[in-house]
Structure 1
């Protein structure tokens, strides 16, 4: 089965928050699926380069309400993983506070700044195929 990954971000966010959202989702994906990272390598001068992902990860855009809808629907599908980044993370000072706030929230209480979908190409395309690239 061919696997696919996309990141979907709200383009109305400030550019710094767009970049932060995409990078955090990428880090979370790498933690959950280290197999997508290539091997470490070196250049001609023997400078070290850690492995980067060996699959494309397009950054797509969707309005916040569409991201929330995709999150809700995709979480009900078998065989697709949804990694989320929510506004709670922007309103707290440390990870313990973040965890505590999440424990007090349901997904209906949260605003999703971005999500990462990882799974079979067919399933990921079902949710993201009509979304434009973030430019």
Structure 2
């Protein structure tokens, strides 16, 4: 099975929040997906370069409604084997993880506004969900 990874980020966000959302999603992907980060490599001068992603990660544009709809679809039976990371207004508006865990517990799934999400898994399934989305530019 060929694997694919994409991010979908709300294109209506300011550039700084888009960048922050992508960074948060990427860090979690790197922690959770085995071998998505390659080993350290050496350049021609013998200097080391810490491993980077081994998988291209297109960043697609969405809006908060499309992202929430996509997240809901991922939790259906058909797509339940995909790995998903989401980043919401509950996370973006807190200053530390303890504050985030307390704040998100006060929201229902319907109350959360999603700034972005990342999907990783079977390429056909990821394409089925995101194939019609354009690149965020």
TM-score (normalizing by structure 1): 0.95
Q: In structure 2, which of residues 107, 110, 119 is the aligned counterpart of residue 108 of structure 1?
A: 110
1:6-45 pair list within 5 angstroms:
6-45=6-45
**Structure 1 consecutive aligned stretches of length 4 or more whose deviation exceeds 6 Å:** none
Gaps of 5+ in 1: none
Q: How does 1:1-135 map to 2 (within 5 A)?
A: 1-76=1-76, 77-135=79-137
The alpha carbon displacement at 1:93 in A equals 1.9
**Separation in 1, partners of 2:34, 2:51:** 10
State the shift of 1:79 in Å.
1.4
**CA apart distance, 1:78:** 2.3
Alignment: residue pair count = 135
Alpha-carbon distance, 1:43 to partner = 1.6
CA shift at 1:75, angstroms? Answer: 1.8
Unaligned residue ranges in structure 2 (runs of 5+): none
Contact 2:86 2:118 in 1 (8 A): yes
Counterpart CA distance in 1 for 2:11 and 2:33 is 26
Q: Supply the distance in 2 between the matched residues of 1:60 and 1:4 (Cα, whole angstroms).
A: 13
SS at match of 2:120: strand
Query: CA RMSD, aligned part only?
Result: 1.1
2:4 is paired with a residue whose SS is: strand
What CA distance in whole angstroms lies between the structure 2 residues aligned with 1:107 and 1:45? 51
Distance 1:25 1:90 in 2: 12
Provide the TM-score with structure 2 as the length reference: 0.94
